[in-house]
Structures are given as structure tokens and as C-alpha cells.
Amino acid sequence: MKGFSWVTIFCALFACCACQPQTPQESVKKPNVLFILVDDYGYTDCGIMGSKYYETPNVDRIAREGMIFTDGYATCQVCSPSRASIISGKFPARHGITDWIGAKTGEEWSKVGRATQLLPPEYKHALAHDYITLPEAMKEAGYKTFFTGKWHVGGKGSWPDDHGFDINKGGWDVGSPKGGYFAPWENPTLPSGPDGENLSMRLAKETVKFIEANKDTAFFAYLSFYAVHGPIQTTQQKWARYRQKAEQMGIAENGFEMGRFLPIRQVQDNPVYAGLVEAMDDAVGLVLDALEEMGLNENTIICFTGDNGGVAAGDAFATSNKPLRAGKGYQFEGGIREPYFIKVPGMGNGQKCSTPVTGTDFYPTILELCGVELKPKEHIDGKSLVPLLKGETMAERPLVWHYPHYGNQGGEPSSIIRQGDWKLIHYYEDSREELYNLENDLSETTNLAADNQEKVKELSATLFAMLEEMGARFPERDPSWTAEREAAHLKNIVEKRWPALEKQRKQFLSEDFDPGNNWWGSMVVND
């Protein structure tokens, strides 16, 4: 209870400081905020959330010292929409960025070898400038604001420093690390270091440098890793250790099962990806250690999450999110449920909270914890989680997802609503609806729609009323689609792509695996 009472005092104290003019001698230093966002990071991609394969002592440390939101969600199953939601406080259907920026739409979608029934709708390609973003709200409150890493919420003119960040190190148009995870890389806002420098560690060092320069004032630092997005890369040392670990754990004969459009990984045993995860965790540790060394640990709030589920299909087919179903790009829990931790100094002990929460909730939560006046017209789709952090409860509310696109990973155009333990998925190809009870069926194996028609109607009505209010766009039928063409496409996936993936998986785990490019230059510098 000591931690909960501290949070109450913490919030009240800084709310008071924010409202009453004070002299410098009387002022109390506001809490700092470190926000850590990991790209494509799966629900079970860290030890504390259940992985027996990946080693993430530093990420686990944040969770153990804070609150673990077991039902924490991204607002979309792909990156750009959920990233825009975190800093705007708005669901994707409202801010209009409903797919990763760069994805094809309309007839252009059907011209790139697709064989799907629908044409995805247009979406916005940059975050609107008339929003007051989270960093802008923090800046108004006197915070020094800093961004480093992946942005992917708009091109030049809509980069981090155009939306409230004083400093931008590495954020620009693209969503993957152009040039890879070892220098030299290509990034107009983050010059390469010495050949072989690790990108994740460089982002951590830039964060530490910013914190050191601003340790005597209040800061909002946003560390947005490019990891663990493809291309997956690691050092030879890390690969060797995780290859051996996979062997000791027992290598399954087969690693994939066929989904509707693509094979989906069922096991965590990719040693290249495991090394990439560990490198990200090493970088997190560098920042956490720096906060302690500078005496800032007891005055810094830390938020940690991901932007969508782990990549079980498509991209690098890198991880498994089991017991959750599927992964990035999908309408199932593996595509949207995330590690979601908030550490408030003095709280500690890794308490778990099962209330469903989402990416839009960070905006009002951070404002309230920092004693900054809330902006409900901005973070309209978010709720402050301070009551939960204090051990209280929150009223049940519906959470919605709107992804009227086909994911590169095999997901289908759909909208989702979760209320309480119930989750409804509406599919746009044929208007079918699936109903799951997540309390009893976390893996979404049993569709209960046929036996619960009243609940289906209730949730569907709420879902579409919310989508209409937000101005959601919807897909249209592709007049050129034929069942024969789609069947031929899927036959090719089953007969060629699936066996190739199984072969590649075994290659990564073979003792003589060689990426053929000097381990991406990572051997130039020490591991």
C-alpha cells in the first residue's frame, strides 16, 4: 500500500505545482518521463511475459518495478496507426492513418501481385498538424522534449520536430532501419557512427546524452527503437549462444502452420531474432543504468510498450506469440496485444492489472502523473490510468480497432471491439462475425457467435456507432477478383513458400549458418 499512497501524493503534489505560481526556490522538480517503444515487439517476446527463449533482464526490470498491464493493447495491428495514436490520443479511425504509411490502396493494391477480394481504402499519410500532440502538451508544461529512433508517422514536414519534439535523432519517413542494424546505415537525421556500431545501442546513447544535458530540468524522452523490425540481424556471438539454447530446449521438426494467406510461426527458436531482441534489451539497460547513476531513477516515470504484435508471418517470420493467436497484421490477440508496463517511482513490486488498456491511454496518464492539465478534446479516445496505478478500478469501456486493409502478414480487413471479456471481429469480405470470450479462450480457438446472437448484435451495434462517429473509411470489392486466381495464389504459398520457410528456419539453427555478409559488419567492432 505504500506504493499506492505514494502515487496519490505524487499526482496531487505535481498537480498543485502546475496550478500555483511559485518562485524557483519554492518549486518542486516535476517528474521526468522516459517512454520506450519497441517496433514489432510481441506479447511474449520478453521473459516476464512468458518467453523461455529470449533473454530480456532490463525490460523485465521495468515491469518488476512497475505495473504490468496484462491486457495492454496497441491501437492497430501495424505500426504507423498505433504510433500516431500514442502521441495524438486518438484511435486510427479518427486520425485517419489506418495502415502503415507507404502501403498500397485501391487499384494500386491489386497491381502488386495480390489476389484478394477487396480493395483497401485510402488513408492519411501524415499526422494532422492541428492536433496538440503529447510532446506538444509536455512542451507547453515546461518539459524539454526529445525523440530518437523510428518515427514513420509522416514524411518531411511531418517529422518529430514538426510535432512537438525539441530534438530529433533518427526519426524520418521510413519504418525499417535502412542499411540495417550495424553502421554504416542510411538516415538523414542520425549520422552513422564507426563501422559496425549497433543501431539500438546508438539510440540508447543519444537518449543518455540528452538526459545528461537536461538532468536539472524536467524532460520527456521518447526512445523509439527500430528493433525488432526486419531485417533481423545480430552478431555471430549472440547467434551462437541462442542457437545452442534452441538446441538445448529441443528443436521442433516443424515451425509453422498455415493460416488463411500465409504460414504462421508456432515456435520461438530463431537465434538471429533472439540476438536482435537481446541487443535492444542491452540498450534499454544502458538508459536505465544512466538514470540510476545520475540520481534520476526516483523521479522518472517509465512507460514501455510495442506498436503491434510480434511478426509470426510475413516480413521476417521471426517469432511466435503463443498462447496468443497469430501476430502482426492480424485481427487476433497476437496482432494487437502488447507488453505494456508503467513504472511510477515508489510503486514497485510488479503488480498486475487485467483491465483492458490501450495506446491512447498513455497521453492522459502521463499528463496526470506530471500534474499537467488534461486535454480531453485531444486525447479523446484515451483514459488516464492513474486510478489503476493507485489500485482503484475504472468503469468498463469498449475498445475498438479498425483495419480495413490486408496486412502484409496475412491479416484480413476487419474491425474489432472488446468490451469486458468479450471480443467481436467483423470481417469486410463477407460480413461474418466472430465472437470470443478472452477470459476462457485467450487463444481464440472457439467462435461463440452462433450461440450468443444477442451479444453479437449488441457489440456490433456499438462498434459501428463508434466507427461512424469517428468517420471511418471502408474497403470496396475488387471487380477483377476471381476465386480461381486466389486459389492459385494460395496453392503457390502452400507448395513453395511454406517449405522454403521451414528450410530457412533449419538453416538459421545449423552450426554452419553463414549470412554471407560478414555478419552484417557487426564484427568490425566488439559485440
Q: pLDDT, tens digit, for every residue of 310-348?
A: 999 999 999 999 999 999 999 999 999 999 999 999 776
For residue 262, what is its C-alpha cell?
500465409
Q: What is the DSSP letter of 294?
A: T
For 340, the enclosing helix (H) or strand (E) is strand 340-343
Domains of the chain: 2-105+115-524 (3.40.720.10)
For residues 409 and 329, is the Cβ–Cβ distance under 8 A? yes
Confidence at residue 26, expressed as pLDDT on a 0 to 100 scale: 37
Q: How many CA atoms lie within 13 A of 434 on its CB side?
A: 17
Q: What does the pLDDT read at residue 112?
A: 76
3-state SS track over 35-66 = EEEECCCCCCCCHHHCCCCCCCHHHHHHHHCC
Q: How many CB atoms lie within 10 A of CB 233?
A: 25
| CA gap 114, 189 in Å, rounded | 34
Query: What sign results for the dihedral spanned by CA atoms 371, 374, 379, 383?
Result: positive
Q: What is the dihedral of CA 153, 155, 156, 162, to 10 degrees?
A: -20
294-323: string of b/e by CB count within 10 Å (b at 16+)?
eebbebbbbbbbbbbbbbbbbbbbbbbbbe
Strands 32-38 and 300-306 turn out to be parallel
The DSSP string of 162-194 is: GTT-SEEES-SS-SS-TT-SBSS---TTS---S
What is the pLDDT, as a whole number, of residue 2? 38
Beta bridge partners of 300: 32
Residue 73, SS3? strand
User: Could you report the average pLDDT of every consecutive run of 10 residues in the chain (527 residues)?
Assistant: 46 47 54 98 98 98 97 98 98 98 93 87 98 98 98 98 98 97 97 96 98 98 98 97 98 96 98 98 98 97 98 96 98 98 86 97 98 98 97 96 96 98 98 98 98 98 98 96 94 97 97 90 69
Q: What is the pLDDT of residue 22?
A: 44
- Residue 476's pLDDT is 97
Q: Phi, psi (5° rounding) for residue 357? A: -135, 165
Q: What Cα–Cα distance (Å) separates residue 187 from each residue in 74, 210, 215, 520?
A: 26, 19, 27, 17
